[in-house]
Amino acid sequence: MLRTIPLVTSPSWQEQLADLVTDPAELLAILQLKMEDVGLSAETIQSFPLRVPRPYLARIKPGDPRDPLLLQVLPLKAENAVHSGYSNDPLGELGVNQTPGLLHKYAGRVLLIATSSCAIHCRYCFRRHFPYSDNRPGREQWQSSFDYIAANPDIQEVILSGGDPLATSNAYLSWLVEKLLAIPHVRRLRLHTRVPIMIPQRVDAPLLQLLGNRKQQIIMVLHANHAQEFDAEVDSACQRLRAVGIHLLNQSVLLAGINDSCEALCNLSERIFAAGVLPYYLHMLDKVNGAAHFAVPLTTARELISHLRATLPGYLVPRLVREEAGMMSKTPL
């Protein structure tokens, strides 16, 4: 029997990842905005380039310079302002690298920098000045991280972070995951990733095969800051992950002009739960150079959380936290 061959195929996630919007002129043209509407800075684009995946871009409202998704990716002149109390390494991570690419700050769990790259560049990112070139171990150097974990039986959980662990290939991820899960005391594997929301097609059959239905628990901590980041494709990606037994949580950053209202935070919690995701952390902004215009005062943050508690069931209220250098856990506020 003859089958009709579809004339238009949607791009694969590999193509999506290779075809990010990096040219501000293209971004503005797609969104029908003018340079003078937004206050772009060529200087900040040089130090931390523009990077926007097209599926995410499609959820931005054209013609709105204040769109909450757009503001997360726009390199603004405000990033050049110098503010006291802000630094390039606000979490003091440079001092706690046990082996290249491994951070052991908290009891029972280690964080691995699986890759330096991300599918998106979030302007508020605390790792925007991180010296990734020193933290990009080759396969041989990974061995020292595996050895470190294997030699510390109290490490029950390994967190793959980055960058974004899902911005890598399935072959690389598979190698890494199998190595880690072969260590007997590693009971939980966690991935901190924005990719399923940025490029939902990334949740493909090989990934589900790799992470699904394992005897260890697999947790994916997604990162969405606004309800508008979800659409039917993202819902479907979350559903595929849940169907193979992966626990889904979400962390957000409290960001001025993006989600610093009761309405935005309530809608976010409701929306992620509709996709089968539970809220985990709401982070206070890390005081990284270039991000001060996103800061929300602590008093406002506490008021917002009180409002959420008064409005939503307890399981939809994220934990408001701040990360402080030298502490044993994130600091609850």
Which segments within the chain are labelled E, that is strand? Answer: 97-99, 102-106, 109-113, 157-161, 188-192, 217-223, 247-253, 278-283, 319-322, 331-332
Which of 25, 71, 30 lies closest to 54, judged by CA?
30
Are the CB atoms for 199 and 13 separated by under 8 Å? yes
Distances (CA, A) of 150 to 175, 184, 292: 16, 8, 40
| Residue 106 vs 148, nearer CB to ligand PLP | 106
Residues in the chain: 333
The residues, any chain, with a CB within 8 Å of residue 72's CB and separated by 6 or more, are 120, 122, 123, 124, 225, 255, 258
Q: Build a one-symbol-per-residue string for 201-230: x at contacts with ligand SF4 by CB under 6 A, - elsewhere.
A: ----------------------x-------
* Residue from 60, 70, 125, 308 in contact with ligand SF4 (CB under 6 A): 125
* Residue from 105, 127, 226, 240 in contact with ligand SF4 (CB under 6 A): 127
The residues, any chain, with a CB within 8 Å of residue 259's CB and separated by 6 or more, are 68, 225, 226, 252, 265, 268
Which among ligand PLP, ligand SF4, none contacts residue 155 (Cβ within 5 to 8 A by kind)?
Answer: none
Which among ligand PLP, ligand SF4, none contacts residue 167 (Cβ within 5 to 8 A by kind)?
Answer: none
Are the CB atoms for 301 and 320 separated by under 8 Å? yes
- Rounded Cα distance between 205 and 240, Å, is 9
Which among ligand SF4, ligand PLP, none contacts residue 109 (Cβ within 5 to 8 A by kind)?
Answer: ligand PLP
* Residue from 60, 91, 120, 282 in contact with ligand SF4 (CB under 6 A): 120
| Residue 88 vs 329, nearer CB to ligand PLP | 329
Q: Is 301 exposed, middle or buried (0-12, 13-18, 19+ CB in 10 A)?
A: buried
Which among ligand SF4, ligand PLP, none contacts residue 120 (Cβ within 5 to 8 A by kind)?
Answer: ligand SF4
**Which residues are at the interface with ligand PLP (CB under 6 A)?**
103, 105-106, 109, 111, 159, 329-330
| Residue 287 vs 330, nearer CB to ligand PLP | 330
Which among ligand PLP, ligand SF4, none contacts residue 176 (Cβ within 5 to 8 A by kind)?
Answer: none
* Sole residue written with tokens 């190595």: 179
Q: Does 166 bind ligand SF4 (CB under 6 A)?
A: no
| Residue 167 vs 176, nearer CB to ligand SF4 | 167
Q: How far is the CB of 5 from ligand SF4 (least distance, A)?
A: 36
Q: How far is the CB of 192 from ligand SF4 (least distance, A)?
A: 7
- Chain contacts with ligand SF4 (rule: CB under 6 A): 118, 120-122, 125, 127, 162-164, 194, 223
